[in-house]
Amino acid sequence: MGNIVIGILQIVIFIALAPAIKGFIHKIKLNLRGQKGPSILQPYKDLIKLFRKEPVISKDASFISKIAPIVVLLATIISASFIPIFSPNTLLSFTGDVIAFMYVLGLSTFFIALYGLDQGSSFGGLGSAREMTIASLAEPTLMMIMFTFSLEYGTSNISEIFVKAHSHSFNVPIAYVFSLLALFFVSMAENARIPFDNPETHLELTMVHEAMILEASGKYLAIFELSSYMKLLLFISIASNIFLPFLYSSNMLLNILFYIIKVIIFSIPIALLELSVAKFRFFRIPDLLMISFALATLGFVLYYV
């Protein structure tokens, strides 16, 4: 029974923390550009404002537009319940397989692409086409990274990987640098960050994720925004829990603090990358994804041979 409570607590903390991390990345970016920037709690205020508004639904839409936002949100919550945040007892730890994790995230991508096409506009189709191409090219890298982890720790269950990575007798192989870089690029691709997509813009030239949710408004937009914040925190949590397993204690409150510190450490490179590069032209993105696949393969080969 205690395990279920801890599991629910982990999900609650996850959802509560997600908008703050997005606000934090935004604030660093703007500060380094020389602007003051909105406060870190601004995304919470945005979400509350959006939840109070009534949605405007397109006349061309069907029931898919009404189910898709919630399917996306709950698919993200289910994937979040696979990831251990401060304790290996998550809600679905007995079924938390890395491959199941990838495919449940795929469910959310599928429905958001369908939402884009449902509106009968050309923006949505554009966004869906681009998003599906990027997502499908990012999959082999993610699979190769997961293979490296599973082989290293001898299991494909995420909670057990967490436990083994935090045990004291484990040597981190240096080939992990390659896997970490590959995971970094793939996270930027999946979360619609520069250089793959610009999360701040609404121009047709640069939209991928924003194009698909262009027609959403009110409560539906709030749900989509919350899911995208959670997805970002999801990828950062994977990186921090597997690559930085040294800040860990057996006290739970201290663990939560360590988790927040680790997430902050991993957010800073994201902000720095977003500042230093411009968004790539769309047909350069496959090259970048292939390079991340080469990195992941190098990491695997170096570790395994």
Partner 1 sequence: MFFYKKVSKDLWKFLEVGFSLLYIGIFLGCIALFIKGDNYITVAYLSIHLNTTIKYITYSFYVDRLSLFFIGIVAFNGAINSIYTLDYIEEENYDKKILIIMLKNIFILSMILVLLSANVFTFLLFWEVMSILSFFLVLWDFKKEENYKASLIYIVMTHIGTAFILLSFVGFYINTNSLSFDHWQNLSLNTFWTTWIFLFSVLGFGMKAGIIGLHNWLPKAHPVAPSFVSALMSGLMIKMPVYMFIRYWFYFIKQYPASFGLLILTIGTITMLFGILNASVQNRLKAMLAYSSMENIGIIYVGIGLAMVFKSLNIEYLYALALGASLFHILNHSLFKSLLFMSAGSLMARAHTQEIAKLGGAIKYAPKLGTITLVGMLSLVALPPFNGFISEWLLYQSLLLSLKVKGYYLWIASPLSASFLALTGGIAMLSAVKYFGLTFLGNPRKDIKRKEDIKTMGLISMGILALSCLLVGVLPVFVLDVINNLIPVPIHVNGIFEIKTPENFGSIAPFFIGILMVFMLLISIYLNKYISKHSIYYKTWACGQEDVPLSAQYSPEGFSQPIKKITSKLYKDGLDIFDGIYGFIAKSLLNKLQTLKYKIQPGIIHVYILYMAITLIILIWVSKIYG
Partner 2 sequence: MNLNISLSEFVEFMAALSLFFAILQTASHRLDFAIKTYTAQSIALSITMFLSVFYYFDYELILSAVLTLLIKGILIPFVMKKITDKIVEDENVKPFVNFTYSVLICIFIVIFSFYITSNTFYCSTDNGTMQKVLAIGLSIIFVGIFLMLARKKALIQIIGFLTLENGIILGATSTVKGLPLIVEIGVFFDVFVGAIMAGILIFHIKDTLESIDTSKLSDLKE
Nearest distance in Å: CB 199, partner 1? 20
210, 199 Cβ separation under 8 angstroms: yes
Tell which residue, 243, 221, 231, 154, has the closest CA to residue 192: 231
Q: Report, in Å, the least distance between residue 30 CB and partner 1.
A: 28
* Residue 72 contact partner, candidates partner 1, partner 2, none, CB within 5 to 8 A by sort of partner: none
**Partner that binds at residue 120, options partner 2, partner 1, none, CB closer than 5 to 8 Å by kind:** partner 1
Residue 216 Cβ, how far from partner 1 at the closest point, in Å? 11
| Residue 91 or 244 with smaller CB distance to partner 1 | 91
Closest approach of partner 1 to the CB of residue 98, in Å: 8
Q: Tell me the closest approach of the beta carbon of residue 181 to partner 2, in angstroms.
A: 9
Stretch that binds partner 2, among 11-19, 24-32, 148-156, 296-304 (CB under 8 A): 296-304
Closer of 126 and 172 to partner 1 (Cβ): 126
From the list partner 2, partner 1, none, partner contacted by residue 152 (C-beta under 5 to 8 A by kind): none
Nearer to partner 2, 24 or 184 (CB): 184
Residue 259 neighbours by CB under 8 Å, 6+ apart = 85, 86, 237, 240
Closest distance to partner 1 from the beta carbon of 192 (Å): 16
- Partner that binds at residue 171, options partner 2, partner 1, none, CB closer than 5 to 8 Å by kind: partner 2
| Subset of 233-292 contacting partner 2 (CB under 8 A) | 245-246, 284, 286-287, 290-291
Q: Which of 232, 266, 161, 267 is nearest to 14 (CA)?
A: 232
Which is closer to partner 1, CB of 246 or CB of 304? Answer: 304
- Smaller CB separation from partner 1, 21 or 135: 135
Nearest-approach distance from CB 134 to partner 2, in angstroms: 13
Tell whether residue 305 is a contact of partner 2 (CB under 8 A): yes
Contact 90, 10 (CB under 8 A): yes
Sequence-separated (6 or more) residues with CB below 8 Å from residue 144: 182, 293, 296, 297, 299, 300
Count of residues of this chain found to bind partner 2 when the rule CB under 8 A is applied: 28
Based on CB atoms, which residue is closest to partner 2, 171 or 250? 171
Q: Based on the shown chain and the rule CB under 8 A, indicate whether residue 301 belongs to the binding site for partner 2.
A: yes
Instruction: Provide CB contacts within 8 A for 296, sequence distance 6+.
Output: 141, 144, 145, 148, 178, 179, 182
Locus of tokens 């898919």? 64
User: Where in 150-209 is the site for partner 2 (CB under 8 A)?
Assistant: 165-175, 177-178
CA distance 71 to 81: 15
The set of residues, in sequence order, having a beta carbon less than 8 Å from that of 177 and lying 6+ positions away, is 299
Please, which residues have CB within 8 angstroms of residue 57's CB and are 6 or more apart in sequence? Answer: 65, 66
User: What whole-number distance in Å separates Cα of residue 76 and Cα of residue 82?
Assistant: 10
The minimum distance between CB 147 and partner 1, in angstroms, equals 5
- Count Cβ atoms within 10 A of the Cβ of residue 4 and give its class: 0-12 exposed, 13-18 middle, 19 or more buried: exposed
| Cα 166 to Cα 87: distance, rounded to the nearest angstrom | 11
Tell me which residues touch partner 2 (CB under 8 A). 165-175, 177-178, 245-246, 284, 286-287, 290-291, 293-295, 297-298, 301-302, 305
